[in-house]
Structure 1
Amino acid sequence: MAAPRRDHRGIVDAAGLLAQVRFRRREPAEPLRPYLEHYWLIDWDLTQPYASHVVPHPSVNIVFQQFAGQEPFAEIAGIGLELFTQKLEGRGRVCGIQFRPGGFRPFAPGRPVSDWTGQRIRFPEVPLDADPHVVLGPDDEDARVAALDAFLLGLAPEPDPQADLAMTLADRIRTDRTIRRVGDFARAEGLSVRVLQRLFAAYVGVGPKWVVLRYRIHEALERAETDRDVDWAALAADLGYADQAHLVRDFTATVGVPPTAYATQGVQ
């Protein structure tokens, strides 16, 4: 696995968020790297409330959270189907585990990952034993990462060839822009569409078409963040849309504003 990525795909108004919080990605222990994207750590100390917005990745997260005036808690966050908004105020801290698409199932093999989709379920309602104080308590960042490593290694994930296949296919969708139609992708991988869809439901949590669309929106969002003069028609064609109108429709439905409006003013 490569080092944690340095882009901010999925974060709406990334520059605004980074001006308000300390955001870092950290690499997990070597045995965990096949399953994880990275750990993500956020700390803040705000004089005014701030609302962060994220277009979720097709990934399950386990999130340890400490908000001002609340007891720390942990939760499993299944793949979010809609724009996720979190209000931040006062002082707080979050330590998150982002699994690779397909990488969560070996840690919770008893149910399909689609069962978690759209859900945020707090411990101890889920059968994963962890003390949020142990993860969130240390001021030393390395100690927090070590606590996350110890928690996951204690779950002792079992090798699962189907999880490996799901991770490989999901990563191929992310990195290969020519993958646009599920039927073509399934045939290229020697699978039927039905088998591919069942694999993604069981191990990723959403269908392959949803993953294709979500990565398209991430790309469009990233371009809007870095280029205020995006040629949206050209980008739509590059991402495999039939026309610009389809990109505008998907972007607006996901982010909440049309891409041209977002590029000039962001999400309010």
Structure 2
Amino acid sequence: MVDPTRGVLYPSHLPTFHRLAPDAEAADAVAWFWIPEWRLPEGAVSRQELVSYPAVNLVVAPEGVTISGATTRASTRELRGAGWAVGALLRPAAVAALVDDAAVLVDAEHPFDAPDLHAAVTAAMGRDERHRETAVSAFSAWLSQRIGPLGAAGWQANALVDVLWGERAALTPEEAATRLAVSVRTLQRLTHRTVGLAPGAIIRRRRLQEAAQRLRDEPETDLAALAAALGYADHAHLSRDFSAVLGLPPRDYRARASG
């Protein structure tokens, strides 16, 4: 898995947070599970700011199950009191088995009818110190049963993950299509159906996540060199993308993240 703080704009503000691998039976359905747990003093608020992965998430919380799509801007959640969530960052093949069209989920969150999943994960989260692993096992088993064995279309859809935002990911939709041995138009249909975004938007989101992480971890990074390393034409192009999604330019974010 990637660094557990990637996509989190201010990791120091996080509550207890874990990313766990799925059980083997669900490895084709889930990239990873993410589990925040918090207990805040009365009246306190923890503000979480994220540049989410370009993916669909299925989330179990005490109040129910929801499914949320890819986002086009940085997002914010405010945590109060005490609580937890168990989220599954879904691989494309799982999305196709759970929803008809991921595009309708973009920038949205909807209730998802899965009372048996909710009951199993909620019971697991109330157990001993291994509650997170128990919850992941229950979630993995539910997904495996719900989705079943992958067919050729599922394997092809999952290949998108590695090519568009895995290690050594493609820098352009054309490169991604070539590596997948499909046309750019076929790639566009696949990402629209299983992610809800165009290939170029997925690539840009990955690059912005990497840019934010580098600016936090390596505050002396030269912005022009960072832009070139991430495939941007120049520093100005990176700054435009960064400001459009995060709401502030790279220099300001670096100062805020290191402050």
TM exceeding 0.5: yes
Aligned to 2:95: 105
Is 1:5 the counterpart of 2:25 in the alignment?
no
Contact 1:106–1:160 at 8 Å: present in 2 too? Answer: no
Which stretch has the larger CA shift, 159-168 or 36-45? Answer: 159-168
AA matched with 2:145: G
Is 1:16 the counterpart of 2:9 in the alignment?
no
How far apart in 1 are the matches of 2:59 and 2:64? 8
Is 1:214 the counterpart of 2:211 in the alignment?
no
TM-score with structure 2 length normalisation? Answer: 0.88
Runs ≥4 in structure 1, deviation > 4 angstroms?
none
Deviations 1:118-164 (A, max 9, x none): 2211133xxx4435343134233133223212322331434132221
Is 1:169 the counterpart of 2:163 in the alignment?
no
Aligned to 1:69: none
Structure 1, unmatched stretches of 5+, are 67-71
Q: Percent identity?
A: 28
Contact 2:93–2:150 at 8 Å: present in 1 too? Answer: no
Kindly tell me: are residues 8 and 165 of structure 1, through their superposed partners in 2, closer, same or farther at Cα, counting changes over 3 Å? Answer: same
- Counterpart mapping for 1:32-43 below 5 A: 32-43=26-37
2:127 to 139, 145, 150: 139
- Give the drift of 1:259: 1.0
- Give the drift of 1:167: 1.9
Kindly tell me: are residues 242 and 212 of structure 1, through their superposed partners in 2, closer, same or farther at Cα, counting changes over 3 Å? Answer: same
AA matched with 1:113: A
- Counterpart mapping for 1:2-151 below 5 A: 4-17=1-14, 21-47=15-41, 48-66=44-62, 72-100=63-91, 102-108=92-98, 111-124=100-113, 128-130=114-116, 132-137=118-123, 138-140=126-128, 141=131, 142-151=133-142
Aligned partner of residue 230 in structure 1, secondary structure: coil
Is 1:260 the counterpart of 2:251 in the alignment?
yes
- Give the drift of 1:45: 0.6
Contact 1:106–1:158 at 8 Å: present in 2 too? Answer: no
Please identify which structure carries the higher helix content. 2
- Give the drift of 1:11: 0.5
Structure 2, unmatched stretches of 5+, are none
Contact 1:77–1:121 at 8 Å: present in 2 too? Answer: yes
Kindly tell me: are residues 149 and 195 of structure 1, through their superposed partners in 2, closer, same or farther at Cα, counting changes over 3 Å? Answer: closer
How far apart in 1 are the matches of 2:96 and 2:6? 26
Aligned partner of residue 180 in structure 1, secondary structure: coil
TM-score with structure 1 length normalisation? Answer: 0.85
Aligned partner of residue 18 in structure 2, secondary structure: strand
**Coordinate RMSD, CA, aligned:** 2.2
Contact 1:170–1:211 at 8 Å: present in 2 too? Answer: no
Aligned to 2:239: 248
